[in-house]
Amino acid sequence: MEKDARFWSRIAEKYAATPLPDEAVYRKKIEVTQEYLRPDMNVFEFGCGTGSTSIIHAPKVRYILAIDIADGMLEIAERKAREQKISNLEFKRASIEELEIERHSFDAVLGLSILHLLKDKDQVIAKAFRILKPNGVFITSTTCIADFFKFHKLLTWCGTFGRFIGLLPRVNAFGREELEASIKSAGFHLEYKWQPEGKGKAQAVFIVARKPDTP
């Protein structure tokens, strides 16, 4: 984790200054997400980066806990939250794998542009299921590299080597079918799926999955 954390901290300022690749797609994901949010909700976001999405959603809910492994990302996130006087949003340095969270703690869990960067997506999706309250929602936007890059195994190997020498973060390649199967296997029902048409490359898969309304 520390190697990945150093990488993301090192590029944090550049990352924050980079324009969104597709503003319209991002805005639609925000709008769809907010259809599932309510003022009485507690929300958890892992891999929050510089906090932009949590800051947008904060006025729509009671409380958001947003975590990331990179100090550099969180420094920017906290600065933006202060500047916008957001008071119901807490940032914390932690990994989803290691953070202790009680079962049934949150109404919504967000994992955006992060699952393909984790060691074990199945473990993390299962944890999202455990910490959600019954009828809670898990919302993810995930790059499914295996669907559009036929040499994805080579890419994964290069990423592993690059991570070893500190030049690249962890990258895992899987396809949309595998992602959906992982979410279903955790116990979720897929409620919304959208993959916008790519502009020269495949777009991330956006999914809203609901935990059944049972204890």
Go through the domains of the chain in sequence order and give each one's CATH number.
2-210 (3.40.50.150)
Which is more confidently placed, 154 or 196?
Answer: 196
Return the half-sphere exposure (C-beta side, CA atoms, 13 A cut-off) of residue 137.
18
Distance, in Å, from the CA atom of 192 to the CA atom of 31, rounded to the nearest integer, reads 13
Predicted TM-score (pTM) above 0.95: no
pLDDT of residue 198: 62
- Per-residue pLDDT band for 3 (boundaries 50, 70, 90) equals confident
pLDDT of residue 149: 56
Mean pLDDT within 32-51: 98
Give me the percent of the chain exceeding a pLDDT of 70.
Answer: 87
Distance, in Å, from the CA atom of 182 to the CA atom of 187, rounded to the nearest integer, reads 9
Both structure tokens of 154: 């080579």
